[in-house]
Structure 1
Amino acid sequence: MRKIIGLLAAIWFAALLSLGSAHADPVKRKVIIDDEGFALMHLTLLESSKVDVIGITTVSGNTWANRATAMALRGLEIAHRPDIPVVQGATYPLLNSEALTERWESLYGKLTWKGAWMKKWVESTVQSAPVYYGPNDPVELPNGNPKLKASPEIAANFMIRMVHQYPGQITIVACGPLTNLALAQRLDPQFASLVGELVYMGGSFNPHQVLDNVSAAEFAREYANSPRREFNARFDPEAASIVSRSPWHKLTIIPADPSTATQLTPDLLARLARAAAPDIGKFIAAMEPGYPLWDEIAAGYVLDPTIETKSEDLYVDYDTQFGPSYGDTLSWREHYQPHLGEQKAHVVRAIDPKRLAALMVQAMVEGARSTK
């Protein structure tokens, strides 16, 4: 009888432990953000209660890496997150360059966006004109330079160190050119296999204009004649190809396709600003509207993958031959891939824009609540 009573007590105690664990707070997902600046994507992840951002690495793309680093540091000051390290990465693509890009344009036509190499829009747009900087120009940010300092480490080395420290636990959210990831993989062949998931914004398959009479539609026009071209991959095609052939445990691609159904409207900016903590709200309110939510889709997917409404698993690579398709996205369904190391990726083709906006607002609410 004593044995039976002891057994029942053990079962009861185990049930209590199980019940307690079922109601315990879920473990936050560890995230490294790899990008070329600081924007709503960063804030969505920083303010969310679902993830723990353990580092931000910077890379040249829309702007040079030194400027991107200053922007990330200043953003963390505004978000009151000095605990997060910012680590500068690659200044230049692996092989591509400004001179090569200008040569390419003289042969094959003008690119819509060239990032750090952009001097002016080819045609008039509602978006503000880009400001051109050199890779080593002094950085003077409009909202003041940061007092925080960047880590002395190199971005690729930082990511390698982190995935060895937390094997299989880190999600990397990459929303710029993939140069840092390619360098990390070349330095450490184990790198990709130690990452829990890579979610990157890049590539293009066949985007279509979804919204009418909004400025976001301007960005859909470029895909009519070049549906496979996207800036992040085009800036460093060789890096994109290396990443495509690396042995990731889980690889998710957010291409340009779903972005044409989204727009950073004045109304969305106002909703986000009202929901956010005061300093972050002021920062958001000063943002320029009219752009698609390219990177924010990646952040939203990390927080809730069910925002996708259309997806496909494909083998993906990028064209590294210097010709008219340089940097274009290559893709194959099962059995048709060339078997040159390309990896299967989960490609998000469409999302629910309203759910994405709601996720972003909710993240700001959570962040504001945590500061009280």
Structure 2
Amino acid sequence: MIRALLQALLLIVAVAPAAAHAESRKIIIDDEGFGLMHLMLLEAPDVDVLGITTVSGNAWANRATAMVLRGLEIADRTDIPVVPGATYPLLNSERLTERWEALYGKLTWKGAWMKQWVEPTLQSTPRYFGPDDPVTDLPEGLPSIKPSDEIAANFLIRMVHQHPGEVTILASGPLTNLALAQRLDPDFAKLAKELIYMGGSLNPHQVLDNQSATEFAREFVNSPRREFNARFDPEAASIVSRSPWRRIVIVPVDPSTGTQRSPELLARMTAAAGPDLARYIGAMEPNLPLWDEIAAGVFLDPSLATDTASLYVDYNYAFGPSYGDMLSWSPGYQPDLGEQRAEVVRTVDAARLGDLMVSLMANSAGKGQ
């Protein structure tokens, strides 16, 4: 009897890790850099990050790739493949953006095309690089590991075919890679489990009363439907929004206005994290809204979304004053040209999101970093 019990116990112990792994939620991160959002997903115990694909947006794709590689070294997760993606938007360009500004006015943020702020701002002035400029320095140091030889669109297609109905795509930059994947393989979107997209803007209002929040409100105070990720590649955003996803969750600008990467939050995360991550987090610029972190948070804990709307969504790709703007319709009002129904997050519980971020960083404390 005792021998039988011991054998049963050993079987349970042997099977438990495999069962836990089988229950892990598979995700691919498609983004233009590396930050707290990535760390949240890397440190979540029930998440299997299949890979990180990079794209031009806030920075050129080659610089984004270097940032991700170095971030994974710091996080001690060099097992995760980094797959370079699109350097250029499908149609938009720096010259086209300059022409647009001459016709319709200055953009608050232009990402890789940004050379200076229109007016003084607390946020640091970005350094301007060309798309072919080599990455010779990063604040966190250059990586020693190399990216995959595969390209992002092919990797995305291969993963959803390998794990049909299981892979979440979390996109927090321009949607160029996803649009290319969908055009290469019409089954791409329908084979994924879901798309979570940080992009677009409905009708945001400033919530926090401080200078940084006021400065970030410049982007939407006179143009509430404009948001950078969609504006950088509107054609890609429209292609992806019309693709046959099983489920779409959109995190627009709106819920981010009640959040901030405050010095206090960074200090809490630094105190909780292991030494290497603590140094990395401690060097981050404070007071940015938690755009991407909301997307990761809603994936990890959907109850963080305190108000959502079911809307049909598309993005304006007609060159004009509203180029790149988010379009939305209540069910029944959409033009029915392929728009997909999406769960759009309007507000989040900022306090609980912060607590989640801190608790996830605590997972790194025992890894000997």
Q: TM-score, normalised by structure 1?
A: 0.93
2:251 to 251, 254, 261: 254
1:305 to 293, 302, 306: 302
Residue equivalent to 1:235:
232
Instruction: State the SS of the aligned residue for 1:33.
Output: strand
Q: Radius of gyration: which is bigger?
A: 1
Residue equivalent to 1:83:
79
The structural deviation recorded for 1:103 is 0.2
Once the two structures are superposed, the pairs formed by residues 146-161 of structure 1 within 5 Å of their partners are 146-161=143-158
Could you tell me whether the CA contact under 8 Å between 2:312 and 2:341 is conserved in 1? Answer: yes
Which deviations, in whole Å up to 9, do the C-alpha atoms of 1:215-265 show, x marking residues without a partner? 123212321210000000000000000000000011000000001111111
Distance (whole Å) between structure 2 residues aligned to residue 258 and residue 50 of structure 1: 25
Distance (whole Å) between structure 2 residues aligned to residue 214 and residue 170 of structure 1: 39
The structural deviation recorded for 1:167 is 0.6
Residue equivalent to 2:344:
347
4+ runs of 1 displaced by more than 6 Å? none
Once the two structures are superposed, the pairs formed by residues 1-372 of structure 1 within 5 Å of their partners are 25=20, 27-139=23-135, 140-369=137-366
Distance (whole Å) between structure 1 residues aligned to residue 303 and residue 368 of structure 2: 28
Distance (whole Å) between structure 1 residues aligned to residue 42 and residue 368 of structure 2: 12
Instruction: Report the count of equivalent residues.
Output: 354
Instruction: State the SS of the aligned residue for 1:296.
Output: helix
Letter in 2 for 1:329: M
The structural deviation recorded for 1:197 is 1.0
Could you tell me whether the CA contact under 8 Å between 1:210 and 1:217 is conserved in 2? Answer: no
Instruction: State the SS of the aligned residue for 1:367.
Output: coil
Q: What are structure 1's unaligned runs of at least 5 residues?
A: 1-12
Could you tell me whether the CA contact under 8 Å between 1:49 and 1:367 is conserved in 2? Answer: no
Instruction: State the SS of the aligned residue for 2:365.
Output: helix
Distance (whole Å) between structure 2 residues aligned to residue 325 and residue 165 of structure 1: 39
Could you tell me whether the CA contact under 8 Å between 1:36 and 1:64 is conserved in 2? Answer: yes
Letter in 2 for 1:291: L
Distance (whole Å) between structure 2 residues aligned to residue 127 and residue 347 of structure 1: 28
Could you tell me whether the CA contact under 8 Å between 2:252 and 2:346 is conserved in 1? Answer: yes
Distance (whole Å) between structure 1 residues aligned to residue 33 and residue 208 of structure 2: 27
Q: Cα RMSD over matched residues?
A: 1.6
The structural deviation recorded for 1:214 is 4.2
Distance (whole Å) between structure 2 residues aligned to residue 336 and residue 161 of structure 1: 36
Q: What are structure 2's unaligned runs of at least 5 residues?
A: 1-7
Which deviations, in whole Å up to 9, do the C-alpha atoms of 1:324-362 show, x marking residues without a partner? 000000000111100100000000011011011011111
Larger mean Cα displacement after TM superposition, 359-368 or 74-83: 359-368
The structural deviation recorded for 1:163 is 0.5
Distance (whole Å) between structure 2 residues aligned to residue 369 and residue 339 of structure 1: 52
Percent sequence identity over matched residues?
70
The structural deviation recorded for 1:299 is 0.6
Residue equivalent to 1:7:
none
Larger mean Cα displacement after TM superposition, 297-306 or 213-222: 213-222
Distance (whole Å) between structure 2 residues aligned to residue 153 and residue 168 of structure 1: 22
Distance (whole Å) between structure 2 residues aligned to residue 363 and residue 189 of structure 1: 36
Could you tell me whether the CA contact under 8 Å between 2:274 and 2:367 is conserved in 1? Answer: no
Distance (whole Å) between structure 2 residues aligned to residue 38 and residue 83 of structure 1: 16
